[in-house]
Amino acid sequence: MEKMEIMEVVSVTAVGMGTRVCLDLIDELKAEEGILVGNTGNGYVLVLSENRTTETYPPRAFRINGGALHQYVYLGDGKTTYLSEMKPGLELPVWNGTDWRKVSVGRVKVEKRPFLRIVCRVEGTNQEISATLQEADSVHLLTAEGEEKPLVNLTPGDRITCYPDQPGRHLGEKIEEEIHEF
Ranges 65-79, 144-158, 160-174: which has the least confidence: 160-174
Mean pLDDT, the chain, integer? 90
pLDDT for residue 1: 42
| Contact in structure between 109 and 84 (CB atoms under 8 Å) | no
* pTM of structure: 0.90
* 47/99 Cα distance (integer angstroms): 15
Give the residue with greater pLDDT, 60 vs 180. 60
Question: What are the pLDDT digits (tens) for 43-59?
Answer: 999 999 999 988 888 89
pLDDT for residue 54: 86
pLDDT for residue 175: 56
Q: How confident is the model at residue 11 (pLDDT cuts 50, 70, 90)?
A: very high
Where does residue 77 rank: exposed (0-12), middle (13-18), buried (19+ CB within 10 A)? Answer: exposed
* 75/17 Cα distance (integer angstroms): 26
pLDDT for residue 81: 94
Query: Which of 5, 2, 151, 140 lies closest to 63 in space, CA to CA?
Result: 140
Q: Categorise residue 2: left if φ over 0, alpha if ψ from -120 to 50, beta otherwise.
A: beta
| Contact in structure between 5 and 120 (CB atoms under 8 Å) | no
Identity of the residue numbered 104:
S
Is the pLDDT confidence value at 26 over 60?
yes
* 138/101 Cα distance (integer angstroms): 22
Q: How confident is the model at residue 169 (pLDDT cuts 50, 70, 90)?
A: low
Question: What are the pLDDT digits (tens) for 103-161?
Answer: 999 999 999 999 999 999 987 788 899 999 999 999 999 999 999 999 999 999 999 99
* 137/150 Cα distance (integer angstroms): 6
Mean pLDDT of 8-29: 97
Q: Give the three-class secondary structure for 117.
A: strand
Query: Which of 76, 131, 65, 64 lies closest to 100 in space, CA to CA?
Result: 76
